[in-house]
């Protein structure tokens, strides 16, 4: 049965996994990045989590509410977390200095595994979408993942703009 599931998985899913692994492994090393590039993966992962929350779970008011609460709580944690506190801005190059961390790899792989597992479970048993014991924990997980990445994006933008406002400039005026 596992081989049948894996063989019926579209190729783009495996390409997505390869990309997520590549980007996650890159994040384990300290690197400099442009603002848009630093926001790309968190934005994509946040979008994947939110779509997971909306697809099939939005019809349950309680699941939507729990997902929204988890998103808000996790966004606060993502904004104030240890990993994002070590991010800094190099004003000379107008780039972010992102310290290496295994957290992005672990989170992206976790989101992939949860979304893939939920998709397989729903493909095999569509009636699960109506079961609270399935949808409520899934809504919490999707909301938490989306919140962690949303918090990271907000923290990166906050640090970037604060570096310029502390100097009385904007990034465009500094260059």
State the pLDDT at residue 93: 80
| Residue among 112, 93, 88 nearest 21 (CA) | 112
The number of beta carbons lying within 10 Å of the beta carbon of residue 132 is 11
- Band (173; pLDDT cuts 50, 70, 90): very low
Hey, is 1 helix, strand or coil?
coil
d(CA 84, CA 81): 6
Tokens of 122: 């729903």
- The answer to whether 13 and 21 have CB atoms below 8 angstroms apart is no
Q: Strand (E) positions, the chain?
A: 31-33, 88-90, 95-98
Q: What is the pLDDT of residues 104-122, one digit of tens each?
A: 899 889 989 998 999 899 9
Tokens of 24: 């996650």
pTM comes to 0.80
State the pLDDT at residue 34: 87
């Amino acid at each position: 049965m596992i081989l049948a599931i894996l063989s019926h998985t579209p190729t783009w899913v495996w390409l997505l996994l390869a990309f997520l692994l590549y980007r996650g492994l890159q994040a384990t090393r300290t690197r400099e990045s442009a603002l848009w590039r630093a926001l790309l993966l968190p934005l994509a992962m946040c979008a994947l989590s939110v779509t997971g929350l909306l697809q099939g779970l939005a019809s349950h008011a309680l699941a939507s509410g729990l997902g929204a609460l988890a998103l808000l709580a996790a966004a606060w944690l993502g904004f104030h977390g240890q990993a994002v506190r070590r991010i800094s801005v190099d004003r000379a190059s107008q780039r972010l200095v992102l310290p290496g961390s295994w957290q992005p790899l672990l989170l992206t792989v976790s989101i992939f595994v949860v979304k893939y597992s939920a998709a397989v479970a729903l493909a095999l048993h569509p009636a699960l979408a109506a079961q609270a014991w399935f949808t409520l924990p899934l809504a919490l997980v999707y909301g938490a993942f989306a919140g962690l990445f949303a918090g990271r994006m907000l923290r990166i933008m906050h640090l970037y703009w604060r570096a310029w406002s502390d100097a009385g400039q904007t990034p465009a005026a500094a260059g």
